[in-house]
Copies of this chain bind each other. A is one copy, B any other.
Amino acid sequence: MQMTFVIFLELLPAKNGEEPTMQFLLEVVEILTSYIRKTFDRSTKVLDFHHPHQLLEGIEGFNLELSDQPESLEQILVDCRDTLKYGVRTGHPRFFNQLSTGLDIVGLAGEWLTSTANTNMFTYEIAPVFVLMEQLTLKKMREIVGWPDGEGDGIFSPGGAISNMYSVMIARYKFFPEVKTKGMAAAPRLVLFTSEHSHYSIKKASAALGFGTENLILLNTDERGRVIPDDLEAKVIEAKRKGYVPLFVTATAGTTVYGAFDPINEIADICEKYNMWLHVDGAWGGGLLMSRKHRHKLNGVERANSVTWNPHKMMGVPLMCLFHFPAPHYTTSGLLQGCNSMCAGYLFQPDKQYDVTYDTGDKAIQCGRHVDIFKFWLMWKAKVCSFLSALITNVVPIFSYQPQHTNVCFWYIPPSLRSLPDGEERRQRLHKVAPKIKAMMMESGTTMVGYQPQGDKVNFFRMVISNPAATRSDIDFLVEEIERLGHDL
């Protein structure tokens, strides 16, 4: 049978659809495994860059437009090949562009199974195995956070931003439960605190939830990007003096750009003193809790009232995979449930034959919820505590000085700027160097790394290592590539 002559109507559930279905799926798998092989092959480029207008015009027959004629399955297979060809190989050993990199084979198998099972996390009824896996895994993760017997609650959410939003929501519900029914008008003017280096999702949450971004107060940091606890206390006192109510403090464990770890214990002392909710955003740095050697960077995390932890970053789990935990002393009272539940009768019937406390869907702000647990559970089964060792022990000691995390931020100074004195002209020219090198790097497709300005610092590169496939030679390659591309700027 030639796929050329087969169209979707011949696939299952069609009568006699089994053979074409199996043939089609195996051809898809052939395309995917070929892609996987190339992803780990350093002679393959990281990307084959084209501008939006080029891709929209159609390159070598790759037509992105939605047509009015159905395509044959043969053409669908060609579309699959082209989609991968013009994409970015985020699992390539020389892809350093994001906090989430790498392609874990066991995790990938977990994702394929999850798509095939195609179910939804809201009830035990239709996801019995996944709901239990989520429960057991959350408990294990809470034990690692350091909460006694792993007691407490938690939920997987679609990303760190939503997870941080959950934390603000349950903090508000804890101190001002009447906001759920009466709105923000029922609370005094509430203020939130977070590092000037913290992730922008805290700001998104304060806008979305009705606090307003002006009521999110940014905290000063030291030269390595860590919150200065005295600055927090001063700003809390100042807010109280104005008659505002300090509600919520985020301590970031692993900031996005510098990889800085805020001093959790000192921040926790201040939170206790002023009766504020302490949230630890460990989206990026939470993975270090798995490492005996490095977990001290999160000392005090067990004092948090909620924690965000993102295994799709440092732990290499495929996107998305993100936990949100409220601390156990808040969960005995069913805080997450209380905050979000609306008890929809059509989903959460109380008169089912099984123990309906396993219908965890009403804790979420979502209704349908993607199954993000399985890939993580499967990776754990395969790897256990050696999980991170492959990463952390291979990665962090590459550096001869003591970084806080695997972020390395640096400028490349081209020869033409080296003799220029410090000053505005040098700053302005240096600001343009990283974008120019990045553009050339993407055109040549050999490697990818991020850059950004931060505070008064002009554009600099942020090199992040979270990919188990990356070796010292790949890092050397990146440095040489930057030199090669930037030498004549």
Contacts and interface: CB of A to CB of B under 8 A. Distances in A.
A353 interface: yes
Contact of A52 (B86, B111, B124): B124
Contacts of A200: 342-344, 367
A365 interface: yes
A136 B57 CA distance: 12
Interface stretch (A27-35, A266-274, A329-337, A478-486): A27-35
Nearest to A370: B320
Given A159-B368, A181-B213, A365-B162, A204 B65 contact: no
Interface stretch (A4-12, A221-229, A298-306, A416-424): A4-12
A174 to B, nearest CB: 14
Given A12-B36, A126-B88, A136-B65, A169 B118 contact: no
A60 to B, nearest CB: 13
Contact of A126 (B90, B132, B320): B90
Contacts of A83: 113, 117, 129-130, 374
A382 interface: yes
A108 to B, nearest CB: 6
A402 interface: no
Contact of A183 (B210, B257, B453): B210
Interface stretch (A99-107, A231-239, A245-253, A287-295): A99-107
Interface residues of A, number: 165
Contacts of A180: 207, 212-213
A449 to B, nearest CB: 11
Given A125-B88, A374-B83, A355 B76 contact: no
A356 to B, nearest CB: 10
B87 A103 contact: no
B40 A12 contact: yes
Contacts of A84: 113, 116-117
> Which 6 pairs from chain A and chain B are nearest by CB?
A210-B210, A183-B212, A353-B439, A111-B115, A13-B469, A184-B184
27 contacts: A8-B105, A12-B37, A21-B36, A22-B37, A25-B105, A52-B124, A70-B382, A71-B381, A76-B109, A79-B378, A83-B113, A87-B117, A103-B116, A112-B115, A158-B370, A161-B366, A161-B367, A179-B210, A180-B207, A181-B212, A181-B214, A183-B214, A346-B462, A349-B435, A349-B451, A352-B438, A353-B443
